[in-house]
Structure 1
Amino acid sequence: MAARILLRHVLRCPPARLVAYPEARLTAEDWAAYRALVERRQAGEPVAYLVGEREFFGRSFLVSPAVLIPRPETELLIELALAHLGGCPRPRVLDLGTGSGALAVTLALELDAAEVTAVDLSREALWVAMANAARLGASVSFVHSRWFDALCGERYQLIVANPPYVAANDPHLGQGDLRFEPRSALVAGADGLDDLKTIIAEAPHHLDDDGWLMLEHGYDQAATVRSLLTDAGFTAIRSWTDLAGIERASGGRWPGRP
């Protein structure tokens, strides 16, 4: 499968062409380019970085080593957001740690008249996200910030985030695609909870009354995240499972303060 994707990338052709013309020969230039990509793939480099894009929620997003590669399980946050905000005439949405912009851009395109703001601490990531917004025709405001630091006084009906949640000593960091992805987008302290704790603690200052916070987290972190949400004063707290049956996202409603 990877070999076909790389070949299509070199030839800039649809999948049908490879099937329709199996006897076609590569030019010397195309063969050299294809061989170079195959060698990089054999060394473990992710296919998404090699071809510069990855599909997310039915759209192609540009990616680079500056951003985390969008994953299918993160589409759960999109589905939850659409279910909660589908009837809102002009929802204000915040995407924290936007990376490639997959969440922010998709929500801006799927929600009519939504006001979407995307935040990231990495300027390189923001360049990728802005390119995706422009390429796909999405209206998104981008802010360079560490979480909420540059958002003083701003409030939203929904905050979504796929923050770093991997423990610093997790052995998976030395395996597969994770070896090539930015550590800053993966690792969050000794137990992987540092950024989740920060977001949950600060979110009430940036949510409208009855606004929602929805977070992606690790496969074994749901109970802890629900406890953190409870301690912070959220209500209607629950977790949602991905297609593999794993509790992949948790969230709650901010009731406001008397």
Structure 2
Amino acid sequence: MTIKEALASARDQLALPFIERPRLEAEILLQELLKKERSWLHAHDETLLSDEESQNYQSLLKRRLQGEPIEYILERASFYSRDFYVASGVLIPRPETEILIDWASSLIASHPICRVAEVGIGSGIISSTLALLHPHLTFEASDISPRALEVARENLKRMGAESRITLHLGSLLEPLEGEFDLLLSNPPYIAQNTPLPKPLNFEPSEALFGGERGSELLEELIKEAQKRSIPYMIAEMGYDQRGAIERFMERIPHQELRFYQDLAGLDRGFIVRFDSSLDSLRP
């Protein structure tokens, strides 16, 4: 079978409702197998694949056809123009979380922030990215998953940020000692009984579901941040949770609450300023 024939067959196999770009994914999987660029595949599309290469390609396709996310198959995901290591047992980075990075980076650049806490570090994309963008920062980060901490540790090493980000096994802020200028989190926020698309079934449920209503962990984080006198907090949330957060914040002393939106215009996260003596969130 030639490369051209293999790609055509793969494209047809991958034409399923949960796969948005079957042609692109067919090419990505084959280039991964052959360790070639996509441009090379098209320039050499009459090249014959060996029997072993054809069998291995079918094995990759089978995993994808069963719903396994392509990021797990490739063991990498792109985030903020960098490739991060990902593996099963850890949430796959989402483009929406890049917006959290933008808001955090803007806040850090204009406010006296040096020591940052991250709850639920997962694969480590948030702290690693901000550490590279802002060399003066140090981080303490927690996660309840030993597997997540393994993946995060590998990414910190690859990004050269391991000396500035300390990892802790534990829940929320409990294992993080000392004072912090900013709390960051992309916690589980899906309501418990929400039906999930097929690919999400491969991702760890503890990184997806945030309780019966979905906002419970967010609310607990807000309480802990206020109790620990952390001046600022930025967190990602579900698109339909603005009302729940606003109602909860009515009971929490704070100075300012802002919501930010994703590229579709949906509410995607919020920023809180707890301390009245500090500068406003607005530039």
Q: How far 1:103 moved relative to its partner?
A: 0.6
Alignment correspondent of 1:238? 258
- State TM-score, norm by structure 1: 0.92
AA at the equivalent of 2:172: W
Q: How far 1:151 moved relative to its partner?
A: 1.8
Q: 2:122 aligns with which of 99, 103, 110?
A: 99
SS of 2:190's equivalent? coil
Alignment correspondent of 1:115? 138
Separation in 2, partners of 1:144, 1:166 = 22
SS of 1:231's equivalent? coil
Residues 234 and 136 (structure 1), Cα distance of their counterparts in 2 relative to 1, 3 Å cut = same
Q: Does the CA contact (< 8 Å) of 1:242 and 1:248 recur in 2?
A: yes
Structure 2: unaligned runs, 5 residues or longer: 1-23, 278-283
* 2:68 counterpart of 1:68: no
AA at the equivalent of 2:209: V
- RMSD over equivalenced CA pairs, Å: 1.7
Alignment correspondent of 1:151? 176
Q: How far 1:88 moved relative to its partner?
A: 5.4
Alignment correspondent of 1:9? 32
Structure-to-structure mapping, 1:202-241, within 5 angstroms: 202-208=224-230, 211-241=231-261
AA at the equivalent of 2:263: L
Indicate the structure (1 or 2) with the bigger Cα radius of gyration. 2
Q: How far 1:222 moved relative to its partner?
A: 1.4
Separation in 1, partners of 2:269, 2:96 = 9
Q: Does the CA contact (< 8 Å) of 2:187 and 2:218 recur in 1?
A: yes
Q: Equivalent pairs: percent with the same residue? A: 35
Structure-to-structure mapping, 1:1-258, within 5 angstroms: 1-87=24-110, 91-138=114-161, 139-152=164-177, 154-172=178-196, 175-208=197-230, 211-255=231-275
Q: Does the CA contact (< 8 Å) of 1:122 and 1:144 recur in 2?
A: yes
Separation in 2, partners of 1:148, 1:90 = 18
More displaced stretch, 239-248 vs 4-13: 4-13
Structure 1: unaligned runs, 5 residues or longer: none
Residues 12 and 4 (structure 1), Cα distance of their counterparts in 2 relative to 1, 3 Å cut = same
Separation in 2, partners of 1:30, 1:256 = 63
Report Cα offsets for 1:88-146 as digits up to 9, x if no partner.
Answer: 57611111101111111111111122102221110110000010110111232111110
Separation in 1, partners of 2:168, 2:244 = 29
Separation in 2, partners of 1:229, 1:110 = 31
- State TM-score, norm by structure 2: 0.84
Instruction: Say how many residue pairs are matched.
Output: 252
Report Cα offsets for 1:60-114 as digits up to 9, x if no partner.
Answer: 0111111100000011110000100014576111111011111111111111221
AA at the equivalent of 1:234: H
Q: How far 1:201 moved relative to its partner?
A: 0.8
Separation in 2, partners of 1:140, 1:28 = 46
Point out the structure with the larger strand share. Answer: 1
AA at the equivalent of 1:159: L
Separation in 1, partners of 2:232, 2:249 = 11
